[in-house]
Structure 1
């Protein structure tokens, strides 16, 4: 990709609402209708929020330990459960569970089984839907970081990539980790967050390498993003949304092509 992308800070707001149970968001996604959804790992609810951080709707679900959220080709909500390495699909209208699949039950799991024997908090951390290849992509946090492609019917693992320094993932002396990702259909790229590195990478699956690295540390306005846990890009790829865990803040960037 020859185009250089820059992120310009546009806005920032709190989405914290302890009374409603929204305090430590751990994932972020844009629905097909353009609405913004988040999930928290400490409660049993999914939240639809507006771009000012206000809760518009919440769905009660039956699971905790959820670490990522995405929408599949049919507009259903897909999440990952870090504790048991599982994908769960919910109806976006009712929150009713449609199906769930343990990673270990998928065809092809044997190739990555050794990386899930003792995850110790380094399990599945993110999920997104690749609309160009009709695949769900799963993100393993660390030791090692993995990008796992799963068929849309949740029956088999179609490919696995180790996300390491050779592919361009570096944390400037810190331990590399991954905390969220989203698919950019306009550019056929992944935006991948690292909480420890305090940055977001653009990753090209075709070339299997990082294209750019964007710092989330202090910018010209003196602001930085801590505890980045969820990321989403709008359908026109003009805005990038990042949600923070402990701070419970939603940050909006404008994506500028240079």
Structure 2
């Protein structure tokens, strides 16, 4: 069993051991799952290869396939109060809104630099308390971006604690963000200003997306087409 162990935090009191325990490993019938979010007892997983969104149970069983007209999708989140799904295209730096059936609503350009087409936007999440989005830029530069709903950059924060960043989600209960790194094989809990709070080493290969639902963390690997389910221990 893989165990993700806390290495360090932002204060001396945070140095005690804590764990994310792997409770399930599930093979997905989804090609190259690259982003994940959780909503109403379901997961929504986007495929980088075919651009489809897959609505699944919490155990990864596909219950609905939502087709889109986009490829190179690396992140997904839901905006329930606005009845929208948001996805991001990495190479074109596009924020795309769909309804829950996949119908196109509108699209916005997210400004910013990226050295290569495949080192750009890697994840998106929605902070429902402040009606804003957070996105991450994979590397060169590694950044946390605070966005308006129209994709305008309000703030940007450098992320220096990982080799790259490949997925992000918002933790409503703790009012913070969780980020996963593909290259570092780790999960990080951070503040909404990009300050590192905790680090968990997972050993997951090609972890590309992360979601929080209740006391569980869901991670997808595009390389292995696998869903990893971790339980958060107090």
| Alignment TM-score, normalising by the size of structure 1 | 0.81
Tell whether 2:99 aligns with 1:91: yes
Give ranges in structure 2 of 5+ residues lacking alignment.
1-9
Tell whether 2:29 aligns with 1:45: no
Spell out the pairing of 1:184-203 with structure 2 (5 A cutoff). 184-203=171-190
Give ranges in structure 1 of 5+ residues lacking alignment.
17-21, 105-112, 171-175, 218-224
Q: Contact (CA 8 Å) 2:110, 2:152: kept in 1 or not?
A: no
Q: Deviations over 1:100-122 (max 9, x none)?
A: 10113xxxxxxxx4x23x33411
Q: Contact (CA 8 Å) 1:181, 1:231: kept in 2 or not?
A: yes
Q: Contact (CA 8 Å) 1:23, 1:246: kept in 2 or not?
A: no
Deviation at residue 151 of structure 1 after TM alignment: 1.3
Q: Contact (CA 8 Å) 1:28, 1:231: kept in 2 or not?
A: yes
Larger Rg: 1
- 2:212 corresponds to which of 233, 245, 249: 233
Tell whether 2:164 aligns with 1:177: yes
Q: Contact (CA 8 Å) 1:24, 1:245: kept in 2 or not?
A: yes
Tell whether 2:198 aligns with 1:212: yes
| Alignment TM-score, normalising by the size of structure 2 | 0.88
Aligned counterparts of 2:152 and 2:132: Cα–Cα separation in 1? 10
What's 2:148 paired with? 151
Spell out the pairing of 1:128-147 with structure 2 (5 A cutoff). 128-147=125-144
Aligned residue-pair number: 220
Aligned counterparts of 2:211 and 2:21: Cα–Cα separation in 1? 15
Deviation at residue 40 of structure 1 after TM alignment: 0.6
The structure 1 segments of at least 4 consecutive aligned residues displaced by more than 2 Å after TM superposition are 1-6
